[in-house]
Amino acid sequence: MRTIVVTGAATGIGRAAATAFHTRGDYVVLTGRRADALTKAVDGLDERAVPVAFDASDPDQVTAALSQLPDRIDVLVNNAGGNTDFDHDDPTDLAGVAAAWRANLEANLLSAVLVTTALRDRLQPGGTVVNIGSIAADKGAGAYGAAKAGLASWTVDLAAQLSPTDITVNTLAPGYVADTEFFRDKLSDDTRQTLVDSALTRRASHPEDIAATVEFLASPGARQITGQVLAVNGGERTSR
């Protein structure tokens, strides 16, 4: 039985990934900022699913949570994040711009860096780190896109650092994923349809689609894949 840690696991992609690993028989630690939402996420699962509440972007909270996290970790999924620009109006001065950019960088890049650094010595040989990035890193989306681009770049460096201990590191870059809290219920029907139509599959991705790819990257069949960004976007943005 493997031990899995998933950040941002209360809802959406994180919850789907945690549930998928649990279904396979793994022991899963679900982390996130909201204790009540984590409790709901583990409701109906057995004792192999454990909630641990902390803010992954806060160094003090990450440090305080270490005693509640496993001593041996086989798979770390850095899913915590989201576009924090949806949480405020556009800034009108430089101080506001700086704060808005810092918020996205902390939520989407620093969170992964802090948690991975804190747990690095607990990652087991043959293990896997999966970072959840975004198509926005290539298409552009202000501070959010820049933060996810930084996450993709850091993935390359981390993969090189962890390769001597046989740990793979990759980033998944989803396109539009339905059934998440990402858009804060602010997505209009017209915009949603435009996003769906931009995919060659002509459908939205769902958290389970992303979770299935996370599972693959943590499987024996993916041991030769590391330092990569894998697009899971229905063909919205294609590669050679």
Distance CA 93, CA 97 (A): 6
12-23 vs 207-217: helix axis angle to the nearest 10? 50
Say which of 21, 27, 144, 182 is annotated catalytic: 144
Q: Which of 210, 187, 83, 104 is nearest to 195 (CA)?
A: 187
Q: What are φ and ψ of residue 143, in 5° steps?
A: -65, -35
| Tokens describing residue 66 | 């270490």
Decide: helix, strand or coil at residue 130.
strand
50, 25 Cβ separation under 8 angstroms: no
Q: Catalytic annotation on 144? A: yes
DSSP run (H or E) holding 32: strand 27-32
- What secondary structure letter does DSSP report for 14? H
How big is the CA angle at 133 (ends 130 and 134), to the nearest 5 degrees?
150
Q: Which residues are catalytic?
A: 144
